[in-house]
Chains A and B, each alone.
Chain A
Amino acid sequence: MSDFWIHLLVYLVILFGFVIVSVLIFIWLERRLIGRFQLRPGPNRAGPFGLLQPIADAIKVLIKEDIIPSEADKGVFWLAPLVAFVPVMLMFAAIPFADGVMLVDLNIGILYILAVSSVTVIGIFMAGWSSNNKYSLLGAMRTIAQEVSYEIPLVLSILGVVMLTGSLSMNEIVKAQDVPFILLQPLGFFVYLSAAMAEVNRTPFDLLEAESEIIAGFHTEYSGMKFGLFYLMEYAEVLAVSAIATTLFLGGWQGPLLHPVFWFIAKVLLVFMFIIWVRATLPRLRIDQVMAFGWKFLLPLSLANLVITAFEILIAPDINTAVLIGINIAVMFGLVLLFSRFYKLGGGRVSIK
């Protein structure tokens, strides 16, 4: 019994440390990388190469005055960052860093992660509602619509992976990938990445904190450590989403020569850099276009992906892997093109000449 408690304590400390350190590194990496995309160096004054910049940000956030608007709903206002942040930390309990190296090897791993990640929506809505500010309210309303509707393609795209593995446990999914699932499920990867970017409010879906329209959305009225928690939550959620993407689609901690933890971190960084690349390039979508994209484009694609995976498993379970990869990629391109013909941009008003 005490074995269990020691294991729990050690992993709690490791996970907290990992998340906080990773978030600091991610903040630094994002600011430098976006700077390089925009022909400028990014922060390079605080410490060598700007490495102390996130620490400077953290200290600044800690020493700022905590302002609460007078008409705000104080209990809800105070609780909202916690309700938004804690589920994100809970998500890390079931992600494998190496073979069996995780807090608890749940046999319903991926289901637990999806269930827990839906609770952050409540926190964001609490923040927007209790601020007594029309801009926050607009941001909060958009949040609910967007995050709830993108849960469905997210779950359906993961079901394809679960069908190929036959188990919901995260460790089993990694071990079953002789060929990384991105090759066997390219459509699933595309749908998962789009839905996950919408879940964590990254451009082009970041209209919840669209700086040019509603100033800062749900966290307009927050300052001090509460704002710091929201900031931390955003980057921790991106980290979680990248970690899940590598576990499910890129082969987790598997890799030839080096230690598995190294491969895991390298793959997470790769996915994260792709997300930054998309953020640096694209403008943002409007809320009704986001809803249309989720319901009318991603949902049918993920359903089609599910049906085709089911067919392949039932009809030809022993087919040569290379042929299967080729068929899947061809099917993905065909389906995406077909659906774009049906899904008219902007409700039929737009055509590209």
Chain B
Amino acid sequence: MAIKTENFILNIGPQHPSTHGVFRLRIVLDGEVITDLEPVFGYLHRGIEKLAEGRTYLQDIPFTDRLDYLGSMTNNHAYVMAVEKLAGITVPERAEYIRVILDELQRIASHLAGLGFFLNDLGALQTPLLYMFREREKIVELFDMCSGQRLNYNYYRFGGFVQDLPEEFLPALKILLDTLPGFIDEYEQLISTNEIVLIRTKGVGVLKRDLAINSSAAGPVLRASGINWDIRRNDPYSIYNRFEFDIPIAKNGDTYDRYMIRILEMRQSVRILRQAVKDLPEGEIMGKAPKLLKPPAGEVYSRIEGPKGELGFYLVSDGTDKPYRWRVRPPCLLNLSALKDMVVGWKVADLMAIFGSIDIVMGEVDR
């Protein structure tokens, strides 16, 4: 004789301590088990793509800062690379090395923030968050030294940079690189072998290979499902083919693998940084670029490996100084599209863990 039960609908609303930003989920619960899920987003839509059509190419660079606001340097890089491809501007050697250094530092900073908030969602009372933010503070201070602000950097320009690295940058970076692996070991000591984290995350929210490819996931989410795809290796841009580094791949695609991949990527970034700092040449930092940029008519799609995944810009130019179409490929939104299949069948507590492990920033999902 079956007991009569009733599903009830719970609204994890836009204001919630655990959705990273304003994001709404309507879930249908059967006791504690989730049977259906519907995401509702758009609460942070600002119309960046339309606003960018009315401004020149140079004036659009501050807008790219505000997409994924925890990873501004890589956003700038992706956009600047797209316009350089369209207009045919070459970048000098020193500027390319500086770009690699800043990108990899930004990757470490973004992974630290993402992991900190993931552990916060699991329930650790902000202790790992504060430890990770201490390291992120050191990196953000370096960026503050270069560009003048701590969050929206607006540092890259077409053809290189306008202001060179200050002279205190490299000694401070060397001190940071010497101590950062030790602190990453501390994080592993606190979290990776903790039985409670293991129970909560191993085997939870598995994203299978086929589903990962079909739903256009990218970045650490894709690599945790066992697919060997990294744009720095498969479609190299800038000077990444001069550095040697490994791409960490995991097998299962569960939440623990997504956490572990980010830790391993941080270590690989430190490795790239050491090589780049050693080989940094002297020279000029700005290529030949006209003051008022009027690229020839055409279209371009260029992509980089951002910390959240493949960030791409599709630009259509009609010969004037303002773009005709300015489109962002948002990695966070496409990583979210498989959320329903990952979550159905698990409990409410697992929803937060899975959602935190995809590591989204609402500025990019909604633009």
Chain A bound to chain B: yes
Q: Which residues of B contact A350 (CB under 8 A)?
A: 198-199, 202-203
Q: What's the minimum C-beta distance from B254 to chain A, rounded to whole angstroms?
A: 9
Name A352's contact: one of B119, B193, B350 (CB within 8 Å). Answer: B193
Give the residues in chain B near A215, CB-CB below 8 Å: 16-17
Considering the complex, which residues of chain B in the window 152-195 have a beta carbon less than 8 Å from any beta carbon of chain A? 190, 193-195
- A283 and B347 contact, Cβ closer than 8 Å, known pairs A213-B352, A349-B203: no
Q: Is the CB of A345 within 8 A of B131?
A: no
Question: A37-B127, A281-B127 given as contacts; is B347 within 8 A of A287 (CB)?
Answer: yes
Q: How large is the interface on B (under 10, 10 to 19, 20 to 34, 35 or more residues)?
A: 35 or more
Contact B123 A214 (CB under 8 A): no
B13-60 interface (Cβ within 8 A of A):
16-18, 32
Q: B202's contact among A138, A279, A349, by CB below 8 Å, is which?
A: A349
The one of B120, B130, B195 in contact with A39, judged by C-beta atoms closer than 8 angstroms, is B130
User: How would residues 330 to 357 of chain B score, 1 for a CB under 8 Å from any chain A CB and 0 otherwise?
Assistant: 0000000000000000011111100000
Can you list, as one digit per residue, whether each of A265-287 has a CB less than 8 Å from chain B (1) or not (0)? 00000000000000111111111
Q: Give complex CA distance A215, B17 in Å.
A: 7
Q: Does B208 contact A (CB under 8 A)?
A: no
A204 to B, closest residue via Cβ: B196
Q: Is the CB of A38 within 8 A of B127?
A: yes
Task: Give the distance in Å from the alpha carbon of A36 to the alpha carbon of B196 in the complex.
Answer: 23
Contact digits for A30-59, partner B, Cβ 8 Å, 1 yes 0 no: 000010011110000000000000000000
Contact of A346 among B126, B130, B198 (CB under 8 A): B198
Given A283-B200, A349-B202, A350-B199, check contact A212 B120 (CB 8 Å).
Answer: yes
Please, how many angstroms separate the alpha-carbon atoms of A279 and B194 in the complex?
14
Kindly list chain A residues whose C-beta atoms are within 8 Å of the C-beta of B134: 39
Give the docked Cα–Cα distance between A288 and B33 (Å): 11
In Å, the complex CA distance between A345 and B199 comes to: 6
Q: Does B10 contact A (CB under 8 A)?
A: yes
Smallest CB–CB gap between A131 and chain B, Å? Answer: 14
Q: Does A203 contact B (CB under 8 A)?
A: yes
Q: For residue A210, which residue of chain B has the nearest CB? A: B123
Closest-CB distance, A238 to chain B (whole angstroms) = 15
CB contacts (< 8 Å) of A212 on chain B: these are 17-18, 120-123, 352
Interface membership of chain B positions 123-150, coded 1 if the CB is closer than 8 angstroms to chain A and 0 otherwise: 1111100110010000000000000000
Answer yes or no: B243 CB below 8 A from chain A CBs: no
The docked-state distance in angstroms from the alpha carbon of A207 to that of B352 is 13
Q: B76 to chain A: closest CB distance in Å?
A: 31
Closest Cβ of chain B to A133, distance in Å, is 10
Cα distance, A34 to B119, chains bound together (Å):
17
* A7 contacts B by Cβ under 8 Å: no
Query: Which residues on the B side are within 8 Å of A138 (C-beta)?
Result: 10, 32, 348
With a CB–CB cut-off of 8 A, which chain B residues contact A280?
Answer: 125, 127
Picked from A39, A282, A352, the residue with its CB within 8 Å of the CB of B124 is: A282
**Can you list 17 pairs linking A and B with CB atoms under 8 Å apart?**
A34-B125, A38-B126, A38-B127, A39-B131, A134-B8, A138-B32, A207-B123, A210-B349, A212-B18, A213-B18, A214-B348, A282-B124, A283-B119, A283-B194, A285-B200, A345-B198, A350-B198
**A interface with B by C-beta (< 8 Å):** 34, 37-40, 134-135, 138, 203-204, 206-207, 210-215, 279-289, 345-346, 349-350, 352
Give the 10 A-B CB pairs with smallest separation, nearest first.
A284-B123, A283-B124, A349-B203, A283-B122, A283-B123, A212-B18, A286-B349, A350-B202, A38-B130, A346-B199
| 5 new A-B contacts at CB < 8 Å, known A283-B123, A286-B347 | A134-B8, A213-B351, A281-B127, A283-B196, A284-B122
